[in-house]
């Protein structure tokens, strides 16, 4: 069927085809809460002055078959400015499905239309999940780019909830969980489940933000509530998601005050463990592991199917779900460099960098091996202590996605 393409500039406009969008989203089986208009609409409202939203829609008759919301901005590589495109929601979005039901030939036409309408050096789509065993529709874009790159962003541990979870976990996790529960009981703290709605989400986000501000994430400035922009984004997004009943929170409270939490998004029976934080004063409780266990128990009670680590670092991840995982899901980053001079230059630089990087790592390792050992300093001890604290709660932040 012939595809008709059109451009829009806002997902929040009254004439945006929201019903058609939702129908398309539900046809794409691996869609996530980050594909909802609730999340993307908040992302749009959090755009800065230097960012512009352009939405490509593809229609087959009266049915929406493609929606790609792209944010155009200027990024600097080696101090030189380049025009780049990202999917709306970057970088706070943890997992996306590309909303398309088009065939390869129609997708190739979509790329041509994007390049004509939005001249750019690089188009990058981050954190895309793909159906297992199926060729991605983006493969057609690789052959029509000056340079195309598909790299794994992370391997996310997932846990399939089953009746075996009604029994106590075995091995070392059982010992750690028992010890954490004893400590929590000694403090007099207790765990509480919360399903926020429009009336309760505001005070709840305020309480969670206060906990994060005192945690290592707040101190290092990498939390989801840290900057004004991300705070606005999160407040708008989670308020809208709460109205749809897609948020879940497990709290550890002491004397009516939250001292630790895990925040998740629930859809299609899958809980995305999005964010956690704890007060440093109670770091020795090991609350993260107890709250993760509460996710699983809640899933048993409400018939969820999966608990996912929403996103983890590609290397050196210590998410506690890895102790319980029954599988993994891969997130991919696709980068397409145009045939414009800027795209050719940036793509060539990227290829050269990937050839040079292994040699640089070998040289750095050699330097480290021959360098004399230096005595421990108070600063290094403090740094080690901070690392221990992060490991205890078990969710490292990566440089590009340090918010979670």
Position 383 confidence tier, pLDDT thresholds 50, 70, 90 = very low
Q: Is residue 291 part of a domain?
A: yes
Ramachandran bin of 400, using left for φ above 0, alpha for ψ from -120 to 50, beta for the remaining angles? alpha
Does 147 lie in the same domain as 166?
no
Q: Which of 19-23, 169-173, 310-314, 354-358 has the highest mean pLDDT?
A: 19-23
pLDDT over 90 at 159, yes or no: yes
Helix (H), strand (E) at residue 117: helix 104-117
Q: Is residue 184 part of a domain?
A: yes
Instruction: Give mean pLDDT, residues 337-342.
Output: 94
Average pLDDT, the chain: 89
pLDDT over 50 at 397, yes or no: no
pLDDT over 60 at 385, yes or no: no
pLDDT digits (tens, 9 = 90+) for 269-278: 999 999 999 9
Range of the domain at 225: 162-304
Q: Is residue 324 part of a domain?
A: no
Position 382 confidence tier, pLDDT thresholds 50, 70, 90 = very low
User: b/e string for 244-261 if b means 16 or more Cβ within 10 A?
Assistant: eebbbbbbbebeeebbbb
Does 133 lie in the same domain as 14?
yes
Q: Is residue 379 part of a domain?
A: no
Position 378 confidence tier, pLDDT thresholds 50, 70, 90 = very low
Helix (H), strand (E) at residue 18: helix 18-27
> What contacts 24+ positions apart, CB below 8 Å, involve 41-45?
41/11, 41/12, 41/236, 41/240, 42/233, 42/234, 42/236, 42/237, 42/240, 43/88, 43/89, 43/92, 43/93, 43/233, 43/237, 44/10, 44/11, 44/12, 44/69, 44/88, 45/12, 45/232, 45/233, 45/236
Write down the pLDDT at residue 372.
65
Q: Which residues contact 248 (CB under 8 A, 6 or more apart)?
A: 193, 194, 195, 263, 264, 265, 266, 271, 295, 298
Write down the pLDDT at residue 131.
67
Count the neighbouring beta carbons within 10 Å of the beta carbon of residue 300: 14
Does 167 lie in the same domain as 59?
no
pLDDT over 50 at 102, yes or no: yes
pLDDT over 50 at 404, yes or no: yes
Percent of the chain with pLDDT over 70: 91
Does 14 lie in the same domain as 152?
yes
Write down the pLDDT at residue 313.
84
DSSP letter string, 170-212? PSHHHHHHHHHHHHHHHHT-EEEEE---TTTHHHHHHHHHHHH
Q: Is residue 191 part of a domain?
A: yes
Does 97 lie in the same domain as 82?
yes
The last residue of one of the domains, among 316, 339, 355, is 355
Q: Would you report the helix, strand and coil content of the chain in percent, each value rounded to 5?
A: 40, 25, 30
Write down the pLDDT at residue 284.
92
Write down the pLDDT at residue 314.
79
CB burial of residue 240 (10 Å; 0-12, 13-18, 19+): buried
Pick the range with the lowest mean pLDDT from 52-56, 92-96, 182-186, 388-392. Answer: 388-392
Record the tokens describing residue 375, joined without a space: 């005595």
Does 275 lie in the same domain as 167?
yes
Does 132 lie in the same domain as 45?
yes
Nearest to 248 by CA among 279, 271, 225: 271
Question: Taking the C-alpha atoms of 126, 130, 135 and 140 in order, what is their torsion angle to the nearest 10 degrees?
Answer: -30
Q: Is residue 372 part of a domain?
A: no
pLDDT over 50 at 391, yes or no: no
Domain count for the chain: 2
**H helices within 303-396, ranges in order?**
341-370, 378-393
> For the domain that residue 225 is a member of, what is the CATH number?
3.40.630.30
Does 242 lie in the same domain as 342?
no
pLDDT digits (tens, 9 = 90+) for 8-61: 999 999 999 999 999 999 999 899 999 999 999 999 999 999 999 999 999 999
Nearest to 127 by CA among 346, 342, 329: 329
Q: Is residue 368 part of a domain?
A: no
Q: Is residue 16 part of a domain?
A: yes
Instruction: Give mean pLDDT, residues 146-162.
Output: 94
Does 219 lie in the same domain as 143?
no
Does 138 lie in the same domain as 174?
no
> For the domain that residue 41 is a member of, what is the CATH number?
3.40.630
Instruction: Give mean pLDDT, residues 115-133.
Output: 90
Does 187 lie in the same domain as 264?
yes
pLDDT digits (tens, 9 = 90+) for 56-78: 999 999 999 999 999 999 999 88
Write down the pLDDT at residue 136.
85
pLDDT over 70 at 375, yes or no: no
Does 166 lie in the same domain as 152?
no
């Amino acid at each position: 069927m012939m595809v008709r393409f059109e451009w829009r500039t806002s997902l929040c406009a009254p004439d945006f085809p929201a019903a058609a969008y939702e129908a398309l989203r539900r046809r794409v089986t691996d869609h996530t809460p980050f594909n909802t208009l609730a999340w993307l609409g908040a992302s749009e409202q959090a755009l800065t002055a230097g960012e512009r939203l352009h939405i490509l829609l593809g229609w087959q008759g009266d049915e929406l078959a493609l929606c790609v919301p792209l944010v155009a901005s200027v990024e600097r590589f080696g101090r030189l400015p380049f025009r780049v495109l990202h999917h709306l929601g970057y970088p706070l979005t943890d997992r996306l499905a590309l909303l398309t039901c088009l065939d390869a030939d129609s997708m190739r036409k979509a790329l041509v239309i994007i390049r004509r309408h939005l001249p750019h050096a690089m188009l990058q789509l981050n954190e895309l999940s793909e159906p297992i065993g199926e060729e991605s529709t983006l493969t057609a874009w690789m052959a029509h780019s000056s340079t195309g790159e598909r790299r794994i962003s992370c391997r996310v541990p997932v846990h399939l909830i089953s009746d075996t979870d009604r029994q106590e976990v075995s091995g070392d996790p059982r010992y750690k969980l028992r010890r954490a529960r004893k400590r929590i009981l000694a403090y007099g703290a207790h765990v509480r489940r919360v399903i926020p709605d429009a009336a309760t989400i505001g005070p709840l986000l305020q309480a969670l933000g206060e906990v994060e501000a005192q945690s290592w994430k707040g101190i290092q400035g990498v939390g989801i509530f840290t900057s004004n922009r991300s705070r606005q984004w999160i407040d708008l997004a989670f308020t809208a998601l709460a109205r749809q009943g897609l948020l879940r929170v497990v709290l550890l409270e002491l004397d009516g005050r939250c001292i630790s939490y895990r925040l998740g998004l629930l859809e299609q029976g899958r809980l995305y463990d999005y964010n956690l934080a704890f007060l440093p004063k109670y770091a020795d409780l090991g609350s993260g592991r107890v709250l993760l266990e509460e996710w699983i128990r809640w899933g048993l009670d409400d018939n969820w199917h999966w608990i996912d680590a929403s996103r983890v670092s590609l290397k050196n991840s210590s998410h506690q779900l890895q102790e319980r995982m029954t599988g993994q899901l891969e997130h991919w980053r696709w980068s397409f460099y145009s045939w414009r001079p800027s795209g050719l230059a940036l793509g060539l630089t990227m290829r050269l960098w990937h050839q040079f990087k292994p040699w640089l790592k070998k040289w750095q390792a050699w330097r480290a091996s021959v360098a004399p050992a230096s005595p421990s300093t108070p600063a290094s001890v403090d740094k080690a202590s901070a690392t221990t604290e992060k490991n205890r709660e078990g969710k490292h932040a990566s440089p590009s996605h340090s918010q979670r």
